[in-house]
Amino acid sequence: MSPFVLFFYMCRAALLSTGGFGNVSSLHDDFVGHRWANNNQFVEALTVGQVSPGPNGLWVVSLGYLMLGAWGSVAAMVAITLPPFLVIGVEKLYRRVQHHPAVEGFVRGIMLAVIGTLVTVLMNLLNSSGLDTLKVTLTLLSFGLGWLPRIPVVAIISFCGLVGFLAYR
């Protein structure tokens, strides 16, 4: 697989979604489906994306690195920087068709499907390495703690990592 192919798929996934994690399910479908990446790499990249500063969407830069090294991460970085430029077109279009029902409905439909498929992919990831009580507990715990703005994401991730280290070593 070449960085250009990676670039193409990442661009396509970004074009079909909005927000930093909206592209998880498309990319999972494409990359794991073609066996270019495995579930582990997805988990690793998502975790690094959540730990590192800046937009969460940069998780694909980590995925690019895991798949193809430095060139993979450069391809990923360019691929996620380009689609947001459409905002300039969206701004112009917005003035013309401000509330066209079909456009509005299309955008909303995709947004809802992004949420639904994201949940499915997350469940698949959780399932992929064998499910046990501890993993379910940690998932529910992070889900609960994730709502509290006072608790930094890094703290939640470190805690779960530590529990994993103690339990599975």
Partner 1 sequence: MTLIRRASVDQHRWLTDEEFNRDWALCQMTPGINLIALSILIGRRIAGWRGVAICLLGLVFPSALLTILLTAAYVSIRGLPAIQATLKGLLPASVGLGLVTAVQMGRKPAGDAWQLGIWTTVFVVFLTVGSGALLASGKLSVTLVLLCAGIIGAVENSIRYRLSGSKDEQ
Q: Which two tokens stand for residue 39?
A: 């579930």
* Three-state secondary structure call for residue 91: helix
Handedness of CA 12, 43, 151, 134 (dihedral sign): positive
Residues across the chain = 169
94, 103 Cβ separation under 8 angstroms: no
Query: What is the spatial distance between Cα 7 and Cα 75, in angstroms, rounded to a whole number?
Result: 5
Judged by beta carbon, residue 4 or residue 136, the one nearer partner 1 is 136
Q: Which residues contact 82 (CB under 8 A, 6 or more apart)?
A: 11, 14
Judged by beta carbon, residue 6 or residue 61, the one nearer partner 1 is 61
Judged by beta carbon, residue 1 or residue 44, the one nearer partner 1 is 44
Q: How far is the CB of 63 from partner 1 (least distance, A)?
A: 9
Q: How far is the CB of 4 from partner 1 (least distance, A)?
A: 19
Q: How far is the CB of 37 from partner 1 (least distance, A)?
A: 13
Judged by beta carbon, residue 2 or residue 33, the one nearer partner 1 is 33
63, 69 Cβ separation under 8 angstroms: no
Q: How far is the CB of 66 from partner 1 (least distance, A)?
A: 6
Q: How far is the CB of 36 from partner 1 (least distance, A)?
A: 15
Interaxial angle between packed helices 153-168 and 133-145, expressed in degrees from 0 to 180 and rounded to the nearest 10: 170
Judged by beta carbon, residue 3 or residue 83, the one nearer partner 1 is 83
